[in-house]
Amino acid sequence: MRLSPYLAFAKKSFLNRSAYRFDHFIGILDTLLKIFIFWEIYQTLYGTRVEVDGITLKMVATSFVLSICLEAIFFVDDNYLPDKIRDGSIANELLRPVSVQGRMLAENLGTALFRLGFHFCPAFVISIFFIGIEMPASLPMLFLFMLSSVLGYGVLWSISFLVQMTSFWLMNIWSLITIKNVFVNVLSGAMIPLWFMPDWMKKIIDFTPFSSIYFAPVQIYLGQLSYDEIACRCVLQLLWIGIIYSLGYSLWIRGQRKLVVQGG
């Protein structure tokens, strides 16, 4: 498979994002607002306490700063395929000598790379100076955090891909996208660090792909996992990517057989 077309799609997506400077500044502001709102909330909740159940305020700050910053760069276009099926342009996509899924991923990655440099980095640096978060447990843990973050994005993208495939059967998947986003925000640790979940709920969440998106990378960053545990988490992330993508691809094959395009 030639990579040059997909690199071109990623480059185009990157350049399209860089063309809108106002959106760029609004994106940074949005990320910073979320961070400082969460900071004020947890400062109030902790009050004068140094820690709660062994979790310090600085650990919590690190968790939500990393989660929010990762959320800023984990871009997935949930409406990519539904929009093309609705307006009939999916027919043109199927005629191209490139994989539709490959193009979807390439364009999403182009946007994600733009957000990495222009949303994640500024917000993360500002948070270090004004909030004071934990530094990586060690240099190897920092690299493993980056690896786990990439795999976490793969899990999130695969979930989005699976949800989008249902648009072959449903006229509007807005409700499914909303439900998916609620599950991701609540069960991934993006809104509430999973340390504060009841033990029975944490055990259930560990059997879902959601904790692999944000919370696993955060735990690695803070040095809460041993190397053996990190290896298991990364393998689990790969397994979830494989399982969810396979389910989505199965729907993709079946959806093409029943696709009828009128107009376009």
Percentage of the chain exceeding pLDDT 90 = 42
Identify which has the larger pLDDT, 232 or 124: 232
The residue behind tokens 């504060």 is 196
Contact between 36 and 135 under an 8 Å Cβ cutoff? The reply is: no
What 3-state class would DSSP assign to 52? strand
Contact between 105 and 171 under an 8 Å Cβ cutoff? The reply is: no
Whole-model pTM? 0.91
Domain-by-domain residue ranges, the chain?
A: 7-258
Give residue-wise pLDDT tens across range 85-117.
888 788 888 888 888 899 999 999 998 998 888
Give residue-wise pLDDT tens across range 117-143.
888 888 888 888 888 888 898 999 999
Single out the residue of 250, 5, 213 nearest to residue 107, CA to CA: 5
Contact between 14 and 111 under an 8 Å Cβ cutoff? The reply is: yes
Give residue-wise pLDDT tens across range 179-217.
999 999 989 988 888 988 888 888 899 889 999 999 999
